């Protein structure tokens, strides 16, 4: 029974690690001189979606999904959306992008060579491995990116930047709404800055 528990524990640990590996990694930057505590309202800049470097066409359906997810995240933090970006405390825009990357890993491996002839009798059991080879693995993947930028309306300047990146899997493509929500949640976790 204890060996079954160990196996179940190992499987649970692997699932947990694979779940961690599939989350977005977010980084943030902000203007430390800016006072974020007075912000109460937000809006979007005209044409808020920018398309950065990308490996393929970007769906026009992506913009409303991202704006909706950001609006929901900010509303949950107590910010109020207003239509007129010139009357808001801060305005937002975002950039989407992707690129194909290749990862090459090489590591040493022993070749299968073994010989035992020609050694003097005093050299031990008389055999040795010869040659060290190299194993190489090549993996191609797509890295996706979503960046959200916040601008102070009165000062007309950028004050906050958050970006989330992730290796995009087929399941991320299949459930794009959940992927967008996860990326936005990772980014908005850092706003406002502490």
pLDDT bucket at 170, cuts 50 / 70 / 90: confident
3-state secondary structure of 61: coil
45 DSSP 8-state letter: E
The mean pLDDT of 145-155, rounded to a whole number, is 96
pLDDT bucket at 135, cuts 50 / 70 / 90: confident
Q: Which of 44, 146, 47, 55 is nearest to 95 (CA)?
A: 146
The mean pLDDT of 166-183, rounded to a whole number, is 89
3-state secondary structure of 85: coil
Say what the pTM is: 0.69
66 DSSP 8-state letter: H
pLDDT of 55-104, one tens digit each? 677 788 999 999 999 999 999 999 999 999 999 999 999 999 876 667 67
113 DSSP 8-state letter: -
Percent of the chain whose predicted confidence (pLDDT) is above 70: 67
Average model confidence (pLDDT) for the chain? 79
Domain boundaries, the chain: 2-188
3-state secondary structure of 76: helix
**Residue 96 main-chain phi, psi, to 5 deg:** -115, 150
User: H/E element holding 3?
Assistant: helix 2-21
Q: State the pLDDT at residue 6.
A: 42
Q: State the pLDDT at residue 10.
A: 38
The mean pLDDT of 174-189, rounded to a whole number, is 94
Give the right CATH number for 2-188 from 3.30.160, 1.10.3470, 3.40.50, 3.30.70. Answer: 3.30.160
Exposure string of 24-50, with b = 16+ CB inside 10 Å and e = fewer, is: bebeeebbeebebeebebbbbbeebbe
> Can you read off the two tokens belonging to residue 84?
């007129």
């Amino acid at each position: 029974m204890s060996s079954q528990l160990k196996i179940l524990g190992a499987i649970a640990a692997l699932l947990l690690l694979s779940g961690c590996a599939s989350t977005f990694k977010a980084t943030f930057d902000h203007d430390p001189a800016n006072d974020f505590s007075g912000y109460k309202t937000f809006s979007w800049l005209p044409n808020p979606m920018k398309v950065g470097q990308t490996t393929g066409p970007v769906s026009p359906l992506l913009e409303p999904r991202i704006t909706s997810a950001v609006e929901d995240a900010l509303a949950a933090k107590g910010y109020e959306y207003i239509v007129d970006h010139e009357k808001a405390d801060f305005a937002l825009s975002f950039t989407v992008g992707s690129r194909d990357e290749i990862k090459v890993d090489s590591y040493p491996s022993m070749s299968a060579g073994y010989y035992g002839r020609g050694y003097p009798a005093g050299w031990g059991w008389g055999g040795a491995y010869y040659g060290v080879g190299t194993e190489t693995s090549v993996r191609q993947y797509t890295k996706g990116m979503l960046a959200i930028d916040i601008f102070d309306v009165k000062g007309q300047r950028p004050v906050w930047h958050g970006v989330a990146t992730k290796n995009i899997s087929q399941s991320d493509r299949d459930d794009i709404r959940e992927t967008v929500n996860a990326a936005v949640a990772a980014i908005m976790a850092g706003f406002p800055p502490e």
